[in-house]
Amino acid sequence: MSLIKNSTYFKKAAVYAVTGSILAACSDGEKSEAPLNIIYIMTDDHTEQMISAFDDRFGHTPNIDRLADEGVKFSNSFVANSICGPSRANMLTGKHSHINGKVNNEDYFDGSQQTAPKLLRDAGYQTAMIGKWHLESTPTGFDHWDILPGQGIYYNPDFITEDGVVRRDGYVTDIITDLSIDWIENRKKDKPFTLFLHHKAPHRNWMPKLSDLDYMEDRVFDIPDNFHDDYEGRKAAEAAEMRIGSHHDMDLLYDLKIYDGTQESRLLSMYNVGDSLGEYGRMTPEQKEIWDDFYADIIEDYYSKDRDDKELAEWKYQRYLKEYLKTCKAVDDNIGVLYDYLKSEGLLENTVIIYTSDQGFYMGEHGWFDKRFMYEESLRTPLIIRTPKNMGFSKGTINPMVQNIDHAPTFLDIAGVNIPADIQGSSYLPLLRGETPDNWRESIYYHYQEYPAEHMVKRHFGIRDSRYKLIRFYYDIDEWEFYDLEKDPNEMRNSYGDEQYEEVIEMMKQELRNLTIKYEDERALKVLDGEFELNM
């Protein structure tokens, strides 16, 4: 009897979770273990405030919301390094970037090191990685992998397979879902599986699916209160190149598809894979015709009106949100496709479905797009988990602080695999069961080091607890920032040096030092001790 496919069996069997696996009552009264399957869905830059399960002001994500309704959502989920490649390495290893070696996007991820997929496979799980990999090295620890080169391309993309490079026709979000379902369908049915399903979307440059081009076009979005931030008292924020209003930072052609046939785009050479319009060159003539017909009116609107700097920034903001949310719609639609397939195959009640992103993203807050900073919008990342029914899992909202280094130990815990002592994260399986361990973390540690680089966000590390945040900027800047998130949730006032917070800041500094020691971050500790030579 297949415990995975036979949905009738699950309707009749009494099942419950014990030490990370299911004990299912068989017809003869004996008990046999049937480990849970794990599907880990990671999007790229899908920020919490654009998922309606968290915030219904902007996005509409009914299929992702259904996962939350049938499971849990985490109200305090954070990353350890808000940048694509390192975040993925944090997840795979359960370790901070300075330990796993993937500090920035250009670093080569050493695939010979210990990862959760390897440990799961050794324990009898089938493992697959499909979609965006972005770790510069070949995947290891997977029975099957089929990945995008680098960032990947939205239309008619290439995939790197174990047999070479393959070009596939269609829209990348649909293709990744189809490949994932095909692998589930053709897996070995007598073994549990872990599938890493990684979407490109909604990563820049937000190219919507043709059928979604009209989506959200009738919406006018409220502008964030701090959209016109002047960055007073925050030198690192002032120096960052992430302004929506700047044509240098947000490219008219690449990001917003505004083209007059003559202008240069600073990003064209990076994505010149077909013709002078980069990714557009991957499209077929039929696809281009639909695309061009849609954007013609938007291009005409842009060039037909004179706008001052403020008006132009706000016009770009509206276009940005629409393009972004259109790519999110394709993700949500495909979550529905996957859900329906799992339901039809009787897999929903033996599978944990995890939905998250590699980090958060700015949707106009501080006048920005992109991520990288330790400020809330990019430090936070959505985390939703659909848990099987009647197996002892809790439902609703989970409030304790979790981080993306916690995924690896949780995968292992769900599978009933021993968690190696060198993993720095903690399994959140107890939280899924409604239990908060007495020693659960009270603060998280963060370290970003990709500078100088795209968007020019300064190097920094810091900690956040339930109310306060302390950040240390370094390298070519020597600055501290401190925020009281209860009084200043939008992080507009750097309160470092404010006398009323002296004791709290000293306490936070000590906790920051404790965490740099705990997580063995030698560079950060040298900065704190004044032993790191600043590049001033």
- What are the tens digits of pLDDT across the range 148-161? 999 999 999 999 99
pLDDT in tens, 440-459: 999 999 999 999 999 999 99
Overall average pLDDT of the 336-346 stretch: 98
Same domain, 176 and 259: no
Overall average pLDDT of the 490-507 stretch: 98
Pick 165 or 272 by higher pLDDT. 165
Decide if pLDDT at 23 tops 80.
no
For 300, the domain range is: 210-222+238-321
DSSP reduced 3-state for 355: strand
pLDDT recorded at residue 5:
30
Residue 351 lies in a domain: yes
The fraction of the chain above a pLDDT of 90, given in percent, is: 87
Residue 2 lies in a domain: no
pLDDT recorded at residue 259:
81
Residue 227 lies in a domain: no
The Cα 97–Cα 492 span in angstroms is 28
Same domain, 482 and 418: no
Q: Which of 376, 406, 441 is the last residue of a domain?
A: 441
Average pLDDT, the chain: 91
- For residue 357, the surrounding DSSP H or E stretch is strand 351-357
Q: Which of 266, 294, 321 is the last residue of a domain?
A: 321
Q: Which of 305, 321, 337 is the last residue of a domain?
A: 321
**With bands split at pLDDT 50, 70 and 90, how would you rate the model's confidence at 267?**
very low
**With contact defined as beta carbons under 8 Å apart, do 58 and 221 qualify?**
yes
**With contact defined as beta carbons under 8 Å apart, do 190 and 34 qualify?**
no
Decide if pLDDT at 69 tops 60.
yes
Residue 512 lies in a domain: yes
Could you tell me which residues come within 8 angstroms of residue 311 by beta carbon, excluding any fewer than 6 positions away?
A: none
Same domain, 196 and 218: no
Same domain, 165 and 119: yes
Estimate the share of the chain in helix, then strand, then coil, as percent rounded to the nearest 5. 35, 20, 50
Residue 244 lies in a domain: yes
Same domain, 127 and 22: yes
Same domain, 391 and 471: no
**With contact defined as beta carbons under 8 Å apart, do 60 and 48 qualify?**
no
Which CATH number characterizes residue 364's domain? 3.40.720.10
Residue 535 lies in a domain: no
Residue 1 lies in a domain: no
pLDDT recorded at residue 535:
86
Decide if pLDDT at 96 tops 50.
yes
Lowest-confidence segment of 27-36, 389-398, 403-412 by average pLDDT: 27-36
The Cα 404–Cα 384 span in angstroms is 13
Give the HSE-up count for residue 344: Cα atoms under 13 Å, Cβ half-sphere.
9
Residue 291 lies in a domain: yes
Of the candidates 495, 500, 472, the one whose C-alpha atom is nearest the C-alpha of residue 484 is 495
Overall average pLDDT of the 321-347 stretch: 98
Same domain, 288 and 342: no
The amino acid that residue 436 corresponds to is: T
Lowest-confidence segment of 2-11, 275-284, 318-327 by average pLDDT: 2-11
pLDDT recorded at residue 264:
60
Same domain, 255 and 314: yes
Decide if pLDDT at 261 tops 90.
no
Same domain, 110 and 163: yes
Instruction: Looking at 345-416, list the stretches that DSSP marks H as alpha helix, in order from N- to C-terminal side.
Output: 376-379, 407-414
Overall average pLDDT of the 88-113 stretch: 97
pLDDT recorded at residue 517:
98
pLDDT in tens, 275-314: 445 688 889 999 999 999 999 999 999 999 999 999 999 9
The Cα 294–Cα 392 span in angstroms is 50
352 burial type by CB count under 10 A (0-12 exposed, 13-18 middle, 19+ buried) = buried
Which CATH number characterizes residue 510's domain? 3.30.1120.10
pTM: 0.92
Same domain, 50 and 136: yes
Residue with tokens 């016009």, as numbered in its chain: 315
Same domain, 470 and 396: no
Pick 343 or 389 by higher pLDDT. 343
Of the candidates 353, 351, 341, the one whose C-alpha atom is nearest the C-alpha of residue 67 is 353
Per the structure, how many domains does the chain have? Answer: 3
- For residue 164, the surrounding DSSP H or E stretch is strand 164-167
pLDDT in tens, 232-255: 999 999 999 999 999 999 999 889
Decide if pLDDT at 14 tops 60.
no
Overall average pLDDT of the 413-442 stretch: 97
Same domain, 269 and 170: no
pLDDT recorded at residue 390:
80
